[in-house]
Chain A
């Protein structure tokens, strides 16, 4: 079961001008736990993802990683702390090859003076990218192909593979099964379960509710920038989840009974 608290969000808020995108969100993520983050368009999911990954700085509130307060002003800081993110907008550079994307920001250099000057160990990165992607269950035709030449599903697979293979503590997946066929989506869910088994904390954002119900341990429902429900997944079914997201119910039937 879930271990200790890895990542904690306390009372985080974010405004875009007069628009309140996040209004005092708080939750905890445990090691070896998959938390689903659901909500309608504009509920604040992507904003929360960007705050958690360091792409945006929050206006208020605190973040704690392993009990220590952290503050991100650049994605680099979150990455260095072991937090990987798959963004809904493509997080890959289409003109670069698969291996260049996998190693982007973490390049390996040739030995000696040329390495000091920033010359890259291309062959080494190509073979390691191939190996790392295969290790997380992703078969990519060739790691020296440009990402633009891959199909939508292959691109998504590379992006997920990169995130999973680098993640040390937390992995945030924003709509990882979007635009994927049933078989590919199944592979992604398999990768999520493998990451969980490795002891990573996983935040799983999706509109595809059956996937949320299948893969998560806990579900957090966001509505209009506020967390309106945080409960174990087995208390929800498809209907109650939809009703909770749209706001037609505010309490789960199972809670009323108890």
Chain B
């Protein structure tokens, strides 16, 4: 074994390094970070910038986690961005219009209402997920069309419920601001990345990742995406499991809606607009196949980080943010091209 490994030529080694999705993603990250650092006179590496991006786009991680499950099962969920908008608006509506609270309530005094906002947002997401599950499993509509309808409907309801304007309510910005550890100088040790909400997201991605890779929930998700007929023949209740996946995706979109509420201090009907594209992008860049059966949670985590790197890099090098969509589009095309090449070469 060791002998044959030592006999690998440099070319083979390079190929196997590139053939491995994870190492390829890390190489892409390093190259991107290098380019941005060079063109931003080093300011790119300051955590302050990255933490701002993480705060602005943190909800995306939750959507990408849910999308990863959906994509591995062979489906797609286009409704996630609109679900963020709808759930954040419904949370805002309950706090502002039903409970008659306003934005003067801040700090820890807002925690009670925020807990209600979280509950309402997650429940709203679950409702959208349940509708997706019914459209796909009961009415047998393909996931692309089913979630395209809920994408439109959720965005519409978000505007109708909010009246097209943000519903400003109570919030606590310390939840999204970096945690200051007493006794540590911010100048020497920046904890800029770690806000309570970012920690929550890390827990979610780790937890869902464990269920995906170590538990039966994930095994069935892969099995259905790999060969739905075989999954059913093996006794798996494919309908029920698919429903669970869309419910999880919906609940995580609702949680992302709560994140958007906390960050903006209210429910804004446009807060999730366009996020589905980036959630799918993060998943695909992370190595998941839209054909189903393939994907890894840490791939998605790296895919999301690459998107953040692009976002903050363009910002720091002074390139117009309008270029972001184009760069993301190129990354998606490149990621799928790499997958196709790997399949051809028979690499894993």
A residues neighboring B (CB under 8 Å): 53, 55, 74-76, 79-80, 85, 87, 89-96, 100-101, 104-107, 109, 117-120, 122, 146
Docked pose: A87 CA to B211 CA in angstroms: 30
B residues 212-260 touching A (CB-CB < 8 Å): 214-217, 219, 222-223, 225-227, 229-237
Q: Which residue of A lies closest to B236 (CB)?
A: A105
Verify A93–B293 contact, CB threshold 8 A.
Answer: yes
B residues neighboring A (CB under 8 Å): 210-211, 214-217, 219, 222-223, 225-227, 229-237, 293-294, 348
Verify B217–A118 contact, CB threshold 8 A.
Answer: yes
Contacts A93-B230, A95-B294 hold; do A120 and B219 have CB atoms under 8 A apart?
A: yes
Among the interface residues B210, B230, B348, which one has the most CB atoms of the partner chain A within 10 A?
Answer: B230
Docked pose: A146 CA to B232 CA in angstroms: 19
Contacts A93-B223, A104-B223 hold; do A117 and B233 have CB atoms under 8 A apart?
A: no
List residues of chain B with CB within 8 A of the CB of A55.
Answer: 232-233
Contacts A91-B230, A93-B226, A94-B226 hold; do A75 and B215 have CB atoms under 8 A apart?
A: no
Q: Which residue of A lies closest to B293 (CB)?
A: A95
List residues of chain B with CB within 8 A of the CB of A89.
Answer: 229
B136 CB, min distance to chain A CBs, angstroms: 18
List residues of chain A with CB within 8 A of the CB of B223.
Answer: 93, 96, 100, 104
List residues of chain A with CB within 8 A of the CB of B234.
Answer: 75, 79, 91, 104-105
Verify B219–A100 contact, CB threshold 8 A.
Answer: yes
List residues of chain A with CB within 8 A of the CB of B235.
Answer: 74-76, 79-80, 104-106
Contacts A90-B230, A93-B231 hold; do A118 and B222 have CB atoms under 8 A apart?
A: no
Among the interface residues A76, A96, A104, A107, which one has the most CB atoms of the partner chain B within 10 A?
Answer: A104
- The 10 A-B residue pairs with the shortest CB-CB distance, nearest first, are A105-B235, A95-B293, A93-B226, A105-B234, A76-B235, A95-B226, A104-B234, A118-B216, A118-B215, A93-B227
Docked pose: A92 CA to B225 CA in angstroms: 12
6 examples of A-B residue contacts, CB within 8 angstroms: A76-B235, A85-B233, A90-B229, A100-B219, A105-B234, A105-B236
Contact residues of B: prevailing secondary structure: helix
Q: Which residue of A lies closest to B239 (CB)?
A: A74
Contact residues of A: prevailing secondary structure: loop
Docked pose: A117 CA to B216 CA in angstroms: 9
List residues of chain B with CB within 8 A of the CB of A76.
Answer: 235-237
Contacts A96-B222, A96-B226, A104-B223 hold; do A91 and B215 have CB atoms under 8 A apart?
A: no
List residues of chain B with CB within 8 A of the CB of A74.
Answer: 232, 235, 237
Docked pose: A85 CA to B230 CA in angstroms: 11
Verify B214–A75 contact, CB threshold 8 A.
Answer: no
Docked pose: A106 CA to B220 CA in angstroms: 11
List residues of chain A with CB within 8 A of the CB of B210.
Answer: 119
A154 CB, min distance to chain B CBs, angstroms: 15
List residues of chain B with CB within 8 A of the CB of A118.
Answer: 211, 215-217
Docked pose: A45 CA to B222 CA in angstroms: 30
Other-chain contact of B232, A75, A100, A107, A120 (Cβ < 8 Å): A75
Query: Known pairs A75-B234, A91-B233, A117-B215. 4 more at Cβ < 8 A?
Result: A74-B235, A92-B227, A104-B223, A105-B236
Docked pose: A85 CA to B215 CA in angstroms: 26
Docked pose: A100 CA to B227 CA in angstroms: 13
B335 CB, min distance to chain A CBs, angstroms: 18
List residues of chain A with CB within 8 A of the CB of B232.
Answer: 55, 74-75
B296 CB, min distance to chain A CBs, angstroms: 12
Docked pose: A92 CA to B228 CA in angstroms: 10
Among the interface residues B216, B222, B225, which one has the most CB atoms of the partner chain A within 10 A?
Answer: B216
A77 CB, min distance to chain B CBs, angstroms: 9
Docked pose: A44 CA to B60 CA in angstroms: 51
Q: Which residue of B lies closest to A110 (CB)?
A: B214
Contacts A74-B237, A104-B234, A118-B211 hold; do A87 and B219 have CB atoms under 8 A apart?
A: no
Docked pose: A91 CA to B229 CA in angstroms: 7
Q: Which residue of B lies closest to A78 (CB)?
A: B235
Contacts A93-B222, A96-B223 hold; do A53 and B215 have CB atoms under 8 A apart?
A: no
Contacts A95-B293, A105-B234, A105-B235 hold; do A90 and B216 have CB atoms under 8 A apart?
A: no
List residues of chain A with CB within 8 A of the CB of B293.
Answer: 93-95
Docked pose: A95 CA to B221 CA in angstroms: 11
Docked pose: A87 CA to B216 CA in angstroms: 24
A115 CB, min distance to chain B CBs, angstroms: 10
Verify A75–B225 contact, CB threshold 8 A.
Answer: no
A240 CB, min distance to chain B CBs, angstroms: 34
Docked pose: A140 CA to B237 CA in angstroms: 28
